[in-house]
């Protein structure tokens, strides 16, 4: 009877240790590269939809602007069609030197390491209408 009990206890211990070892590499990788599923979820989870009308290159149009938050460290956009887009900074009235090509239905980082509270707007290379989501 004691042999069966010890064998069962040993088997349970081996399963627990193996399971913990299997989880450790992915947890370590997430810490090492600074990403985690919850980090992406909080950034994209706070995304806003946009709808740029035809005839305009900017979103938002007019004197409107967008503001970065602590939810994301970058400015991201997910367009519903492939588009070239750049970020323009309200404080300096300047835009990035190059456009970034976005792929329809995929998140694209347009500007990295942007401070929280930075006011900006998107400038599209085309004046065609555009819809999608943005997160910053």
Q: DSSP strand E in the chain: where?
A: 48-52, 58-59, 66-67, 75-79, 83-89, 94-95, 100-102, 108-111, 119-124, 130-135
pLDDT value at residue 63: 87
- Report DSSP letters for 13-48, one per residue: HHHHHHHHHHHHHHHHHHHHHT--HHHHHHHHHT-E
Output the pTM of the full model: 0.69
pLDDT value at residue 34: 38
Structure tokens at 123: 């400038």
Q: Is the pLDDT of residue 48 over 50?
A: yes
Q: Kindly report, residue by residue over 111-131, the tens digit of the pLDDT.
A: 999 999 999 999 999 999 999
Q: Is the pLDDT of residue 3 over 70?
A: no
Phi, psi of 42 (to 5 degrees): -70, -35
Q: Is the pLDDT of residue 133 over 60?
A: yes
Please state, for a pLDDT cut of 70, what percent of the chain lies above it. Answer: 70
pLDDT value at residue 40: 52
Q: Kindly report, residue by residue over 58-110, the tens digit of the pLDDT.
A: 999 988 999 999 999 999 999 999 999 999 999 999 999 999 999 999 999 99
């Amino acid at each position: 009877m004691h042999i069966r009990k010890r064998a069962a206890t040993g088997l349970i211990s081996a399963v627990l240790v193996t399971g913990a070892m299997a989880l450790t590499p992915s947890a370590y990788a997430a810490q090492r590269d600074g990403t985690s599923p919850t980090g992406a979820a909080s950034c994209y989870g706070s995304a806003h939809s946009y709808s740029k009308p035809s005839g305009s290159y900017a979103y938002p149009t007019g004197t409107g602007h967008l503001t970065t938050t602590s939810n994301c460290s970058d400015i991201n956009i997910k367009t519903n069609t492939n588009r070239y887009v750049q970020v323009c900074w309200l404080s300096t009235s300047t835009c990035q030197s190059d456009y970034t090509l976005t792929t329809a239905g995929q998140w694209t980082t347009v500007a990295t390491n942007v401070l929280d509270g930075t006011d900006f707007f998107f400038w599209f290379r085309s004046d065609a209408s555009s819809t999608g989501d943005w997160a910053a």
